[in-house]
Amino acid sequence: MEQKYVKKVDYVAEMPRTGEPDEKWQLICNRHEDNRKKLTKKKLRPLTIVVTPTIARCRDVGDELKAFLTDECGVPADDVEARVLIVYSGAPDVLKLASVDSPGSKVEWIISVSMLNEGWDVKRVFQIVPHEERAFNSKLLIAQVLGRGLRIPNGWNEQPTVTVFNHDGWAGRIRHLVNEVLELDKRLSSHVSADSPHNFDLDNIDYTLTPASVKKPMTGEYTLFAKGYVDLATDSPEEDVIIKFERAGTGENYDWQTRFQRRTYTPREVAAVMYERLEQAQDPDDPDPKMRTVYTDKYSVDDLERIVVESLNRRGATVATESMKQKLLQSLGTLRRKTSESVRYTLTANAFVPMSTRTRQGDSVSAAELRSNKTYFCTDQTRESLYENQIEFFDEASEAGSGYKVVQIPNRHDFKTPLNAVIAESDNERRFVNGLLRPENLSHYDAWIKSTTIRFYEIDFAWKKGEHPKRGKFSPDFFVKVGDLILVVEVKGDEELAEPSDENIKKNEYALAHFARVNEHLEKNGSARRYRFNFLTQRSFNLFFQALRQGNVASFRSEMDVKLTDAS
């Protein structure tokens, strides 16, 4: 690669989380079309190889792609069959591989199981997509699959690039192949600079909590749409996406901007499906004649449409995305519940406690953690703020290609935090910090601080673990000052969306109540400062920062916010 005998390799280092499978296909196809534009003057068609772990997945993914190209991209069915090869042992398309590189070949997509036949490669491969993590589960396999796309087409003077459009979870594995020795005794610290102009004031409450459990049997007719609307997460029919690519070997990275569109539904279409669900929930053989059509008598399609319209209006939307549609349908899920159980706690506010970011205690990160899951963000002023025994390791870790996750902020004025450096404890936190540091977001907030895991800004909460009531404190991850508004953000992984933990459900419930009390106290005392709490997963980061730029972040609701509130 250094001698330019083969293509350069760029792989995805970071990308926003996508929801529906079609969204991921859009991004892959957008990159494919970008390659087409670049190759037009070379009179070459782009070729993308999609790698799957099993024959069954190979067939399924091939069918998914064909359907997407036909339904979403408008490619005629005959052309799709000519453009897409599905390749595995014994597949009819295997015989067509030999002619893929010929001038007359129309093939642009190859769906393959793990590796293509030994010795086969083609020069016009410009994108490789490991469809699942299992498709790239060994160093040898990664090297062999990459090797399929490294040959340079004839007649090229410059060195082209093959893109690996991987799940960004793979980026860490590649980056760490040469980082097998973890030093445990070297550390870098993070602490508040007391004289920083980015310090700001906060408000907290000292509590006493008393627990109680309540069970309630569900009988008779269920109450639906008591508020006249369904609380929806903010979503958008189209979303601008920035994907960060990293160059193998050098560590250089760059941003690629694209856009994907979500499938949308009119309020009438959603209402019709909701009406069908109501029909299914009714028992035509119920002994009580009134119960046989109790829900469809009360809610016609027109009534449901009005509810959908009101729900969408509250999020500034006129059409429903797929996630909004599913949320509206989930609002009917209570029809199948027989019993509800909840744990309630009495909170007594002992005192309102003013505080400052200056009181945040210091913390540190080890060399081993910087090679694993934590990231250290710093500026050109960080070095002089460290302890003397940390300087040597800082110089080593901040060198390009060191293997440590140390991010140097080029412009110290973009680092609008009172901390000398910031430690992101996880990939989720790292991504959120990157969002704060993006140029397009900088002018839309005043300052921010990353909390410590304990003892800084703590909120009392309680939950029930099995049959045992528990109580504790938690510190939200980030505080972002936007004028008189303090955005309080707790970040989690997308896996929490599938089944939120009882602990997070209660954290959300108590945090919302806590900041409502704080806001009420501030209003009574004539203060203009207000707080807004959000639970964010990676899937919502992009939309959160979009709302920040558009000036409506005060009303932002993430998918996780809605999920946790419903569960509560």
Beta bridge partners of 535: 490
Is residue 328 domain-shared with residue 461, that is, in the same domain? Answer: no
Determine, yes or no, domain membership for 3: no
Is residue 518 domain-shared with residue 374, that is, in the same domain? Answer: yes
Determine, yes or no, domain membership for 245: no
In the listed set 336, 359, 392, which residue is the last one of a domain according to the structure? 336
**CATH code for the domain in which residue 84 is found:** 3.40.50.300
Determine, yes or no, domain membership for 2: no
Closest listed residue to residue 503, CA positions, set 561, 456, 464:
464
* Higher per-residue pLDDT: 2 or 9: 9
- As a whole number, mean pLDDT of residues 434-448 equals 96
Task: Give me the pLDDT at residue 51, please.
Answer: 86
- The confidence band for 178, taking pLDDT boundaries of 50, 70 and 90, is very low
129 phi, psi to nearest 5 deg:
-120, 105
CA 426 to chain centre: 13
Amino acid at position 99, single letter: S
User: Quick one: tokens of 163?
Assistant: 């893109």
Task: Give me the pLDDT at residue 176, please.
Answer: 44
Q: How many domains does the chain have?
A: 3
pLDDT digits (tens, 9 = 90+) for 68-97: 999 888 888 889 999 999 988 888 888 888
Residues 545, 555: Cα–Cα separation, whole Å? 13
194 phi, psi to nearest 5 deg:
-60, -30
Beta bridge partners of 346: 210
* Higher per-residue pLDDT: 290 or 507: 507
Concatenating the DSSP letter of every residue in 286-300 gives -SSHHHHTHHHHH--
Residues 284, 289: Cα–Cα separation, whole Å? 8
Q: Which residues contact 221 (CB under 8 A, 6 or more apart)?
A: 291, 294
Torsion of CA 82, 88, 92, 98, to 10 degrees: 70
Closest listed residue to residue 124, CA positions, set 27, 224, 49:
49
DSSP state of 176: T
Is residue 144 domain-shared with residue 198, that is, in the same domain? Answer: no
**Residue 148 in contact with residue 142, Cβ under 8 Å?**
no
Q: Is the pLDDT of residue 408 over 90?
A: yes
Domain containing 494 equals 187-214+338-567
Concatenating the DSSP letter of every residue in 418-445 gives SBSSEEE-SHHHHHHHHHHHSHHHHTT-
- The confidence band for 483, taking pLDDT boundaries of 50, 70 and 90, is very high
pLDDT digits (tens, 9 = 90+) for 496-541: 888 888 889 999 999 999 999 999 999 999 999 999 999 999 999 9
Is residue 295 domain-shared with residue 425, that is, in the same domain? Answer: no
Is residue 230 domain-shared with residue 194, that is, in the same domain? Answer: no
Look at 85-89, 178-182, 330-334, 522-526 and tell me which has the smallest mean pLDDT.
Answer: 178-182
Determine, yes or no, domain membership for 98: yes
Task: Give me the pLDDT at residue 541, please.
Answer: 95
Look at 138-142, 237-241, 519-523, 538-542 and tell me which has the smallest mean pLDDT.
Answer: 138-142
Residues 220, 227: Cα–Cα separation, whole Å? 20
pTM, two decimals, is: 0.61
Q: Is 213 left (phi over 0), alpha (psi -120 to 50) or beta?
A: beta
Determine, yes or no, domain membership for 256: no
Is residue 159 domain-shared with residue 269, that is, in the same domain? Answer: no
In the listed set 311, 336, 361, which residue is the last one of a domain according to the structure? 336
**Residue 278 in contact with residue 295, Cβ under 8 Å?**
yes
Determine, yes or no, domain membership for 397: yes
- As a whole number, mean pLDDT of residues 451-463 equals 86
Task: Give me the pLDDT at residue 445, please.
Answer: 97
- As a whole number, mean pLDDT of residues 477-490 equals 97
- As a whole number, mean pLDDT of residues 472-479 equals 91
Is residue 12 domain-shared with residue 146, that is, in the same domain? Answer: yes
Task: Give me the pLDDT at residue 34, please.
Answer: 93
Closest listed residue to residue 208, CA positions, set 328, 350, 83, 309:
350
Task: Give me the pLDDT at residue 307, please.
Answer: 93
Q: Is the pLDDT of residue 179 over 50?
A: no
Is residue 281 domain-shared with residue 366, that is, in the same domain? Answer: no
Mean pLDDT, rounded, of the chain: 85
Determine, yes or no, domain membership for 555: yes
In the listed set 336, 364, 389, which residue is the last one of a domain according to the structure? 336
Task: Give me the pLDDT at residue 181, please.
Answer: 28
pLDDT digits (tens, 9 = 90+) for 4-61: 778 888 888 888 877 677 888 999 999 999 999 989 888 889 999 998 888 888 999 9
- E strand or H helix that includes residue 144: helix 139-147
* Higher per-residue pLDDT: 226 or 236: 236
Q: What angle is formed at CA 462 by the lines to CA 458 and CA 468, rounded to 5 degrees?
A: 140
Residue 240's CB is within 10 A of a number of other CB atoms, namely: 13
Is residue 495 domain-shared with residue 518, that is, in the same domain? Answer: yes
Beta bridge partners of 447: 481
Task: Give me the pLDDT at residue 545, please.
Answer: 96
pLDDT digits (tens, 9 = 90+) for 357-372: 999 999 888 887 888 7
Is residue 428 domain-shared with residue 288, that is, in the same domain? Answer: no
Query: SS in 3 state form for 476-539?
Result: CCEEEEECCEEEEEEEECCHHHHCCCHHHHHHHHHHHHHHHHHHHHHHHCCCCCEEEEEEEEHH
Is residue 406 domain-shared with residue 452, that is, in the same domain? Answer: yes
Task: Give me the pLDDT at residue 214, please.
Answer: 63
Could you tell me the CA-to-CA distances from 51 to 115, 392, 475, 480 in Å, in that order? Answer: 7, 43, 42, 41
Q: Which residues contact 505 (CB under 8 A, 6 or more apart)?
A: 463, 564, 567, 568
Task: Give me the pLDDT at residue 170, please.
Answer: 59
In 252-386, DSSP assigns E strands to 253-261, 264-265, 320-321, 339-356, 363-366, 375-378
* Higher per-residue pLDDT: 513 or 289: 513
Determine, yes or no, domain membership for 255: no
Is residue 15 domain-shared with residue 87, that is, in the same domain? Answer: yes
Task: Give me the pLDDT at residue 321, please.
Answer: 92
* Higher per-residue pLDDT: 546 or 469: 546
